[in-house]
Amino acid sequence: MRDLYPPIEPYQTGRLAVSDLHTLYYEEVGNPAGVPIVFLHGGPGGGIEPIYRRFFDPSRWRIILFDQRGSGKSTPHAELRENTTWDLVADIERLREHLHIERWTIFGGSWGSTLALAYSQTHAIRCTGLILRGIFMVRKKELDWFYQAGGAHYIFPDAWEKFIALIPPEEQHDMILAYHKRLTSTDLQVRITAAKAWSVWEATTSKLHQDVSLIKRFIEDHFADAFARIENHYFLNQGFLSPDQLLQNVHKIRHLPSVIVQGRYDMICPMISAWELHREWQEAEFVVVPDAGHSMTELGIQSALIEATDRFARCQWELNR
């Protein structure tokens, strides 16, 4: 098993206005002369954490991390206006141009894998490769699996009961819509109560072995508000994607060196999605971690991701010499 790299602080942070409304927070870590890689966080709405910097060799990589619209330190917090997949794709390009980067590697897990696919299929010429984890393509069957008694509730019936308890029986036929009503309520207490319930359901099911510390972080008011509201907003709109769009556009990135890392027992983004992407994109390396769920910090997934980032860094480093 590969350990994380030691904790590291950014050598530069900044803010980038991407519209009259939204300003992104970003940071650069590692080697300013290194191989550029951009980290796309999950959620959407999850924001970045210091631990994410540690998946990359700081001597070889120039690591760019940023909080997507409404997330983390980006402003305005938890904002749903002007917040779509295609706004985020455009933001990534603005950030690349702002940092004077010609091409970069794309790293994303869960929702980050969705965004990585959408970005790379739109701007393939700007990508040197992709490292993906916990594949999620925001399809109806994926949303139904997790939010509409499609399967996850059979494994976590205790957590599911808590998740649906907030919603009257007559609204439970559409849990995403029912939560949307509460997450956009003008009553702040209603909004925060719903945000915590939404976030705890995901945190409880994220790992093969439940992580109490993760649940405590997800239940914090500030985090839960952005995480739940933005996730729900995207899911209500099925990621602003047409059905199977990301699968149908694989031909646009087939030539890019890529790896897909998937936990066998991922309850949030079940393996069928990664498998279907693998079947469509057999040029990409496919790594199944047999004893892991969804989280990138589970040891098997962590190790596979670090092996991938190290290998990609060595290859790019040699090419650039």
Catalytic residue among 266, 273, 278, 295: 266
Active site residue 19: no
Distance, CA of 307 to CA of 152 (rounded, Å): 30
Per the CB < 8 A criterion, the answer to whether 209 and 180 are in contact is no
Q: Angle at the Cα of 57 (from 52 to 62), degrees rounded to 5?
A: 80
Distance, CA of 287 to CA of 162 (rounded, Å): 34
Distance, CA of 61 to CA of 258 (rounded, Å): 17
Catalytic residue among 67, 71, 91, 110: 110
Q: Where are the strands (E) in 163-314, listed by range?
A: 258-263, 285-289
Q: Quick one: CA dihedral 199, 108, 101, 86, positive or negative?
A: negative
Active site residue 110: yes
Catalytic residue among 22, 41, 294, 295: 294
Q: With b meaning 16 or more CB within 10 Å and e meaning fewer, what string describes 210-249? A: ebeebbeebeeeebbbbbbbbbbbbbbebbbbeeebbbeb
Catalytic residues: 110, 266, 294
